[in-house]
Structures are given as C-alpha cells and as structure tokens.
C-alpha cells in the first residue's frame, strides 16, 4: 500500500478525500469543497475506512497478494475509461485542460487494456487446474467489469460529471472493492 502511495504521490488518495468532501458538502458547494486544499472530516473518514479495509484484505489474502494486486490495480485504472467516456468534464478553473480534449473514444482508449486482459485470461484458463478456482477466477473477472463500470457511474451521477479528483476516487474505490472481493472469494 505504501509503495503505491509513494509512486503516485498520494494523488489518488487526495482525489478520494476531495471527492468525499465534495459529495457531503452539498450540490451548491461541491466543487468549492473539492477545490479546497484543506481536507474535511468526510475526506479523513474516507481515507481511514479505505485504509483499514485495504489492510484487512491484504492480511486475509497474504501470500496471494502478488497475484491479486495487479488485477486490482488494473480494474482501478480501467474504471476511469468508463468515467471519461460517459460523463462531462467539470472544472474548478476557467482554463483547465479536459481529459476529453485528447480522448479517442472508449474502443480506441481501451484497446491495449483489452489485449492485456485477454492475454491474462487466456493464461489463467490454461494454467488453472481446479474447476472451483476457475469459476472463482471468472466470477472475479465479471465483478471487475461490474465495479469498473458502476463505481464511476455512481460517482459521476453524484457529483454531476468527472474531474481529476473523481477519477482518483474511482481508482481507489475500485481497487479496494476488488481487494475485498478477492479476500471474500479466496
């Protein structure tokens, strides 16, 4: 967990905290609360709960974390493709660069990810020997697709679009939800 925070500079966690502060600030103050450099109580609560859930899941998964974590990271980042495709960009600034400025559509943007996913699934289908593990694996793939679509959809509808903070929140929430599902099913 700490290495992920160091690599990203805590960017996704900052987005999570800002997004939760914005959601609970109310519709009229949402963007102002998300822009504020100070973290509010809802942002702190979100960080604490997410961190505790991640720690509990990692303790449950233990040695399998080397296999589980890349899958969770994949789905977390993949979720932003749905977010950007479906929602309009919201900004606190007048001259902000939209993620959609260079957007080529979901099919083109997700092509590399889909190829990676198909290679990964193919490898797993060949290497998994137990039918029970294969069923769990396929269920987790379907859950990953569902969470990658539904979490940004919920966030986007709640805040009225997407921005960098909401994208960061989506990454963290999908990763954590996938960790949780792996902990339950493994």
pLDDT mean by block of 10 residues, the chain; 186 residues:
84 93 88 85 95 95 88 94 90 64 88 92 86 87 95 94 92 97 91
Pick from 54, 27, 69, 34: nearest CA to 157: 27
pTM of this structure: 0.90
CA 2-82-171 angle, to 5 degrees, is 10
Angle between helices 106-127 and 131-159 in degrees, nearest 10 = 160
Cα separation, 15 vs 19, in Å, equals: 6
pLDDT, position 95? 56
* Per-residue exposure over 139-155, b if at least 16 CB sit within 10 Å of its own CB, e if not: ebbebbeebbbebbbeb
Q: Which domain holds residue 148?
A: 2-185
The tally of domains found in the chain comes to: 1
């Amino acid at each position: 967990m700490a290495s992920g925070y160091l690599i990203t500079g805590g960017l996704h966690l900052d987005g999570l905290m800002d997004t939760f502060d914005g959601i609970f600030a109310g519709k009229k103050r949402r963007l102002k609360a998300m822009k504020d450099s100070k973290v509010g109580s809802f942002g702190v609560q979100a960080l604490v709960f997410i961190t505790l859930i991640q720690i509990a899941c990692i303790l449950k998964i233990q040695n399998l974390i080397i296999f589980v974590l890349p899958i969770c990271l994949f789905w977390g980042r993949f979720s932003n493709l749905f977010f950007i495709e479906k929602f309009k960009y919201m900004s606190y600034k007048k001259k902000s660069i939209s993620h959609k400025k260079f957007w080529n559509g979901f099919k083109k943007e997700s092509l590399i990810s889909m190829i990676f996913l198909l290679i990964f699934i193919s490898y797993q289908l060949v290497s998994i020997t137990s039918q029970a593990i294969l069923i769990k694996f396929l269920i987790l793939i379907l859950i990953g697709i569902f969470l990658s679509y539904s979490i940004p959809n919920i966030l986007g509808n709640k805040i009225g679009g997407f921005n960098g903070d909401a994208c960061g929140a989506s990454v963290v929430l999908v990763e954590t939800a996938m960790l949780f599902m792996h902990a339950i099913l493994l």
